[in-house]
Amino acid sequence: MRPCELTVADAAAAIASRALSPVELVESVLTRCEATEHRLHAYVTVVAPQARQDARQAEREIVEGRHRGPLHGIPYGLKDLIDVTGIPTTASSRAWAGRTPGRDSTVAARLAAAGAILIGKTHTHEFAYGLLTPQTANPWHEDVVAGGSSGGSAVAVAAGSAMFALGTDTGGSVRIPAALNGTVGLKPTYGLVSRHGVAPLSWSLDHVGPLTRTVRDAATVLGVLAGHDPSDPASTVPPAHWSAAVPADAHGLRGVRVGVPVNYCFDRVDPQVEAAVRGTVDLLAKLGATVLPVELPLVEYVEATQWGLMAPEASAVHEEALRAAPDLYGRDVRLLLEAGRHVSALDYLRAQRTRTLIRDAWTRLFEDVDVIVAPTSPITAARRGQETVRWPDGVTETVTDAYVRLSSPANITGLPALSLPVGRDSAGLPIGAQLIAAPFAESLLFRVGTAVEEHRPDAGGLAGVPRSDGIDNPQGMRHEAGPGGSSREQ
């Protein structure tokens, strides 16, 4: 196994025992990056000279006994919304071409203090306002989308050109690309991870979270990122009992109450996705969990509330720049920003009020269950250029609406949500399951997610690095129609 294929946990153990040096690890990741970037385009900017220099420094520190912890010497990627001193933050947009910040974001500063080594800045859908990341290819097949808006971060992790990466999640933009690329993606509790120095899309919905190869790795990264930051007005102080650690009894789930939605989450879902997620529920039951039906409240208001909050907030962020240079924005993003200007103050306030009702109702669910299990996305990766999905009941929705439908409730409510790979469809494309828990119950998500990961029959084969230095083409994949009867249209 090449060093770039290791998990963060395994690489950290090898570094701590001196079986692997940060220099060797960084060089392996950079080699993998060079071998795949011409096809994948996960990165906007690769800072190879600085990464090699930082690796040599990490090696010296470790040899001298100054080991900083589990991320010391571990190479990672940052979504190109997240500031690092002296490295351009472009948001994958011409509107920010040449923008170079003069100070680190809080999350970049915390990773640097932990000794993590930046490989580069990863592509995003422009200003994170979309779910495709069109510049970037999916490592499982070049003809399907990577998902977004943290598509570059998910692809870098899946392909081995980063050991972990950070993304942002406003309507599912960490979890959706995680599901589509076979990685783990975590959206923490709202306010747990600082957004200071991160380009905003929607102030009341934005989260920063890690993409990793395993649940334990996500817990390790969150342990470094989490904590109050007075520079972020939404930042919270975690409760005294909060922990990012995976509980020691993660292998057994006796006493854990698993809620399976009887409405909404399995409506208009590809049959192969549904089968994989329900199979995961069966596994949890075999591991001792109690499975209970749960009815999700106020779901008929989710889509309108998401757009009622996000559209005007995004337009407010870009108001001056859009007025000054509209042609520097991509057409899809420009149209969304212009539309958001027409949302009235009354409608925005109604969306805020509805969000409060939804959040309170969903939070009360966790009086009766501990974790909710559902699909992350109702479909796997769509074809490039595909615009709609037509379901067997005759309903047609856009690919974007399909992707965000099941992930946005956790943004509206601020609840922690974890996506992990639980299978593949007949074309070989990854399927993700989403776990949602009460505020600040990340350790419970890690407990359940780790149990799934370690007892799944195909564990270790889904979120790993594609074996060739090119891009895998599983089963000569075709996409004339979605599996199980859903039709995917241009």
- The answer to whether residue 149 is catalytic is yes
The answer to whether the beta carbons of residues 370 and 444 sit under 8 Å apart is yes
Residue 40 in tokens: 């994948």
Measured CA distances, 258 to 289, 316, 437, 444 (Å): 7, 40, 10, 11
Residue 5 DSSP label: G
Query: Distance (Å, rounded) from C-alpha 449 to C-alpha 371?
Result: 11
Question: First vs last Cα of the chain: how many Å apart?
Answer: 40
> Maximum Cα–Cα distance for the chain, whole Å?
66
What are residue 150's DSSP bridge partners? none
* Residue among 489, 474, 402, 452 at smallest CA distance from 139: 474
Any idea of the CA torsion for 420, 378, 129, 33, to the nearest 10 degrees? 40
Residue 118 in tokens: 């930046």
CB burial readout 422-459, b (16+ within 10 A) else e:
bbbbebbbbbbbbbbbbbbbbbbbbbbbbbbbeebeee
- The answer to whether residue 79 is catalytic is yes
Measure the CA angle with vertex 471, ends 469 and 477; round to 5°. Answer: 150
* Residue among 137, 131, 115, 140 at smallest CA distance from 168: 131
Residue 334 in tokens: 């420009």
- The answer to whether residue 286 is catalytic is no
Phi, psi torsion values for 335, nearest 5 degrees: -65, -40
Residue 421 in tokens: 């790979």
Residue 224 in tokens: 């470094």
Catalytic-labelled residue, pool 93, 105, 150, 173 = 173
Helix, strand, coil content of the chain in percent (nearest 5) = 40, 15, 45
Query: Distance (Å, rounded) from C-alpha 400 to C-alpha 272?
Result: 20
Rounded to the nearest angstrom, the gap between the alpha carbon of residue 317 and the centroid of all alpha carbons in its chain is 22
Q: Half-sphere exposure (CA, 13 Å, Cβ side) for 38?
A: 5
Residue 163 in tokens: 């050991």
Residue 481 in tokens: 């129609």
Q: Pairing between strand 164-169 and 184-187? A: unpaired
Catalytic-labelled residue, pool 28, 92, 93, 149 = 149
Query: Distance (Å, rounded) from C-alpha 226 to C-alpha 315?
Result: 29
Strand, coil or helix: 210: strand
* Residue positions annotated with a catalytic role: 79, 149, 173
